[in-house]
Structures are given as C-alpha cells and as structure tokens.
Structure 1
Amino acid sequence: MKAAVLQGIKQIEVQEWQYPAPSSQKVIIKVKSCGICGTDQHIYHGHPGSAEVHPPIVLGHELAGEVVEVGSEVKGFRTGDRVSIDPNIYCGVCDYCRSNRAHLCSNLQAVGVTRDGGMAEYCLVPAANCYLIPEGMTFEEAALVEPLGCVLHGFKKIKFSPLSKVLIIGGGFIGQLFLQLVKRQEVSSIMVSEPVENKKELLYKLGADEVVHPNGISAVEADVVIECVGRPESMELAVKSAGKGGQVLFFGVAAPETAISVSPFEIFSKELTIKGSFINPYTQEEAIALIAKKAVDAGMLISHRFTIEELPEAMANFPNLKVSKAVITY
C-alpha cells in the first residue's frame, strides 16, 4: 500500500508500506480522509506529539474511513461500516487511568503518533477506538471529529454565563471551532484576535461580534480568554487580557522549550483561573453528534486538500501555504 512515511526531522517520503497484519481485537480501515493537524507539523519539525514519536512511522491521527477487515474477537463492527477514529489508546492500569484521568495516561499511545496512522491507504486500529458515523456525514467531516473532540474537552473546563465577555486568541481552525461552541452559549460578547485580514469574513459568519488585530486588544478585560495559538506573545496576551476573576484556557500547543513571562502578582490580584487542556478523553461521540446536526460546521473550515503524493511538499511549505485546515484526500 502507499503511505507517506516520516523518516526523520523534516523528512517525509511517499513509498510502498507494509499492509497492516490483522489482529483479533482490531479492524483495518481503508482511509477515506485524514486531517493534517498542527501537531503533525510539530512532529515533522522534531517535537513530540501527545507521546514520543520514533520514525519511521506513518503520521495522521485525524482519520476516518471504511472498515475492510474485522478481527476475530471484534463485536459491533463489520466490513463496510463507516467510522471515525479516536486515536488515543490508554493502558487502563496506571494511576491516571484508574482515577478517571485516562488522557493523562502514563503509557499513552496513539494512532498516527506512536503507531502507524492515517497518512496511508489503510490503517490498523483497535475496534474500541472506532465510532460509527451517520450516513449523512462525509468522511472529511468525520476526520475532523477528533480535533472537535479535543476542543470539547477544553471547552468543558470553562464556566460561561450570559454576562461573559469572551476573547478567543487565534482565528484559525481551532479558534473557529471554539467560536462555534461559544456562540451556542449566548454569552455577552465574543471577540476574536486574528492578524490575518482574509479570515475576518468567516469569523464574523461563525458568530464573532468583533475581530481585531492582536495589537488592538491591549485594553480588553475579558471574563474568558481562550488561547489557540501556542506562541509566547499570544499566551502572555491571554493573561494580560483577562479581567478580574477571569478564566484563561491555554489550548494552543507550544513547543516544549517555550517559556513565557507572567506576573504572579497579576494572577494573584486578579484572582485568575488558568487551565490547560490535553487531547480528547471520551468526547468522540459528542463531537460526531454536533457535526451531524450541523451545530458545528467543520467541513466548511477546510481550506486545503492534498493527495498523499503532494504531502511531502505541503508539509515542507506549510506556513507559506497559509493553511487554516488541510485534509488528505484519497
């Protein structure tokens, strides 16, 4: 089968790859769509994903497809089923798994991170990580269930009220998902900080009350700040923009060596609540339901589509392509 294989830092090659061997509790899916995540770019540049990555390996943890082989012990799935994949695999025995915090698993593995993923024609996945999708849902939408699930996990950490003034820092794909969820809360106002001018029209369409350049929000005092970028300046801005009693969610993935300058007195005097959010523990079904009923329109957020053959060049030139959200088509 054909696959785009990560061979090392900034090295992806399209080549013939071994078709996955059947397993009793797993299924083989023919991949129909695979999202390219910001984390894939982090891994491509030599940073860890949700776990350590050891090339050669096939990336792609946002995937959906059709079941073509079913393991002998698998129940609930059959060939021809259309599925979306939750890539994260928990050990079930560590302290975190046993205290209802499986996403912090000490032995976390993930399809497309520690195991071959969706940047290939076929992928072997545990049946427990497969979720049936409704007939009306496209495979592209189904591939975007995983990032929405991650967003849902972070979203649930925030308390909203009709009086909440919300600031979303970053108007890219993740910010656009958060924007749609926040809009459903009927909060007081939603401001999005986004420097790229051509994103404004979509952000207003998705529900933003105001879209401003990051340089123009120095006087903001938001009740809720959601940081979706992961850069030092945007994370520092998140803390500065929070008003008294504010909530700050760090969602953007920073490089491991990133450090920021924050005033402890500011956190103390404003009594801020600062939280992080990591992956998507058991949010897959809810994300499928939201996309299926168009409560969140994920498909319209796709800005680029690539074939496997185009992937090496696309990954090398990702920042220059001005990608908001890209998927691999098969």
Structure 2
Amino acid sequence: MKALVKQKAEPGLWLIDVPEPAVGPGDVLIKVLRTGICGTDLHIRNWDGWAQQTISTPLVVGHEFVGEVVDTGRDVTDIKPGDLVSGEGHLVCGKCRNCLAGRRHLCRATVGLGVGRDGAFAEYVSLPASNVWVHRVQVDLDVAAIFDPFGNAVHTALSFPLVNEDVLITGAGPIGLMAAAVAKHAGARHVVVTDVSEERLDLARKLGAGLALDVSRTTIADGQRELGLREGFDVGLEMSGNPAALREMIANMTHGGKIAMLGLPAEEFPVDWARIVTSMITLKGIYGREMYETWYAMTVLLEGGLDLAPVITGRYSHRDHEAAFADAAGGKGGKVILDWTA
C-alpha cells in the first residue's frame, strides 16, 4: 500500500510502498478515505528538535483520519465492515491508576498514533477496537477526518461553563477557530479571538467570533473597551503557546477567571504569578480528548447544528502532499485535508 513515511532522519516525507498493517484479535483494519494535516505532522516533516528527540524512523505519520472498516479481529463484536469510523489517536495502557479509574486521557504511558507507532497517512491503518469511533449519524467526510483536533477544541472550550460568559481565545489556528465555533454554539455572550493573521481572523468571524483582534495593531484591553467589558473576561482559551498571548490573557481576566491552556510553548517562560494568585485565576492544562466523553460531545454538537465547514480551507490528493503541507505550514488558512481516494 502507499503511505506517507518519515523514512530518513532528515527533513521531508516520502510517499512509498509499505506492507499493509497487521490485524490482531482485538484490532480493526480501516481503509483510509481522508486525513487532516496537524501541527505535529509539520514538526515531523521539518525534523525539528522535538521530532529528533521523539520519532524513530521509518514511521508512517498522521493521526487525523476518517475511513471505512474493511476487516476486524476475531474478538471484535461491535464494529463491522462498512462502518464509517474515525480514531482516537492516543493509545493507552489500560493498567495504570488513571486508566483503571476511567480517566484514560490521563494515562502516563500513552502512545500516539503516527508518533509512537505507524499512523494513518496511508491507504490502510489498523487500530485497537477500543480506539475506533463509529459515526452512527451522517457526517461530512472532511469534518469526520478532523474529529481528533475538533476534540481538542471541544475538550478545551467545554472545560468551564460558557453560558452567558465572555470568552477570550488567543490563537486563531485551526483548533482555536473550532473552539470559537464551539464557544458561540454553547452559549457564550462574547467570543473574542486574537491572532496576527488577518486571513485567520476573517475565518474566526465566520465561525462565531464577535470580535477578532489583530494584536500586532490592537490590544486586548482595547477589545474589552469596545465591548464595554468592565471587569475582564470570564473564560480564557489559550491556543497559541505564545508567551505574550498568555501574559496578556492573564492581565485581562476578571477576578476568579478560568483559563484552559492547549497551546504548547516551545520553552519555559515567566508569567505574573502574583496576578494569578491575587485574582484567584484557575489554570487548567489540556492534552488531547477525554475518552470518550469528548467524542460524544463532538457528535452531539454537530447534530445540534454546529457548522465546521469554514475551518477547512485546503483539499488535496495525497499525491500532492508537498503542496498540502506547504499550505498547512503557511499560517494563513484553516485545516488542510488529504484525499486518499484521489
């Protein structure tokens, strides 16, 4: 089968022939239809410091996908050939304290699809049945392909109550854009998104942001004044990993405000801990999705009319992966999809 492989310990990805994945007794074999390009995939392609420390070559990359089940292991009873499925990309041990307590998203031994084991940028992928999500209601294939990052957005956005709250989102990348749509759909009063890309800020407005600020020209405090907010934001969703973004968010939160952090900083940086303490601000780190409560929430949000179509701005054949990755790395659009049937 064809697969997009990190074949060598150097920048680049290679579309080559590899063996089809094996299917164990508890596994599901899936014919991949479409995949989404993630920031993790960009790191691996660029072969940056994180990738060099994390990735063992050769490796089939990719973890965002939708596909059709073509075979199941002998112990799989609730998934059948023909089912349309996506996959939870975090494979957990099932034996640690958190796994045994039902907190699988907190497993310390998590292995990432397309990071610690062969992934989904291929014609076929094999996953344990426990990691397979069957789409039992109709869903657009492009949207189904990005359930993984959509789940990150949902997990972050729904970490704290949003009804009638004023929400600040720093970072209008694809997950920040989806978080804006979720926050508005979930009943937030004001949704403010910040970035430095006017193209992405335009997307934020389409996805539900009442105010989209270019922070290279306008401050968050200016945005507060424009909206008539007197005490600051109630909920912050930090999606950028940018030190200045978090510092500005903290400075513009109300007393007792709550911040969920998904953006991953490249290195340590200082923040105003005195402000966090005296303003009694809650900080919560987010990684991945709650298994599988977030997946239920994603499905229900879509059934309830949440429209993610504007977040998908690039569609390519898998054969045109170089152009697709260049698009995704450009920092101006939303999600980029690879079609494995074209």
User: Is the TM value for this pair above 0.5?
Assistant: yes
Contact 2:59 2:118 in 1 (8 A): yes
Give the counterpart letter for 1:224 in structure 2. V
Distance in 2 between residues matched to 1:313 and 1:254, nearest whole Å: 27
Instruction: Flag the 1:318–1:136 CA change in 2: closer, same or farther, 3 A.
Output: closer
What is the correspondence of 1:71-220 to structure 2 with a 5 Å cutoff? Answer: 71-134=73-136, 136-162=138-164, 164-215=165-216, 216-219=218-221, 220=224
Partner of 1:267 in structure 2?
Answer: 276
Amino acid aligned to 1:28: L
Among 217, 225, 230, the residue aligned to 2:241: 230
What whole-Å deviation, never above 9, does each CA across 1:68-127 have from its counterpart, x for those lacking one? 111111111222111111122111111222344322212111322212111111111111
For 1:254 and 1:42, locate their aligned partners in 2 and report how far apart those are by CA, in whole Å: 14
Q: Secondary structure at 1:235's aligned position in 2?
A: helix
Q: TM-score, normalised by structure 1?
A: 0.90
Mark the runs of 5 or more structure 1 residues left unpaired by the alignment: none
Q: Which residue of 2 aligns with 1:67?
A: 69
Gap change, CA 1:79 and 1:38, over 3 Å in 2 = same
Once residues 136 and 99 of structure 1 are traced to their aligned partners in structure 2, the CA distance between those partners, rounded to angstroms, is 32
TM-score for the superposition, normalised by structure 2: 0.87
Which AA in structure 1 matches 2:283? I
Query: 2:138 is matched by which residue type in structure 1?
Result: G
2:237 aligns to what SS in structure 1?
strand
Deviation at 1:156, TM superposition (A): 3.0
Q: Is the 8 A contact 1:96 1:102 kept in 2?
A: yes
Structure 1 window deviating more from structure 2 (1-10 vs 28-37): it is 1-10
Q: Which runs of 5 or more structure 2 residues have no equivalent in the other structure?
A: 225-231
Contact in 1 for aligned 2:178/2:207 (Cα 8 Å): no
Residue 128 (structure 1) shift: 1.5
Q: Measure, in 2, the Cα distance between the counterparts of 1:271 and 1:75.
A: 49
Q: Which amino acid aligns with 2:135?
A: I
Q: Secondary structure at 1:245's aligned position in 2? A: strand
Q: Cα 1:15–1:113, aligned 2, differ >3 Å: closer, same or farther?
A: same
2:306 to 279, 287, 296: 296
The answer (yes or no) to whether the contact 1:217–1:241 under 8 Å persists in 2 is: no
SS at match of 1:300: helix
Q: What secondary structure is seen at the aligned counterpart in 1 of 2:318?
A: coil
Give the root-mean-square deviation of aligned CA atoms: 2.2
Partner Cα separation in structure 2 for residue 151 and residue 241 of structure 1: 22
In the alignment of these two chains, the number of paired residues is 325
Distance in 1 of aligned mates of 2:156 and 2:252: 19
C-alpha distance 236-43 of structure 1, shift in aligned 2 (>3 A): farther
Cα separation, partners in 2 of 1:60 and 1:195, compared to 1, 3 Å: same
Q: Which amino acid aligns with 1:278?
A: Y
C-alpha contact 2:236 2:249 (8 A) present in aligned 1: yes
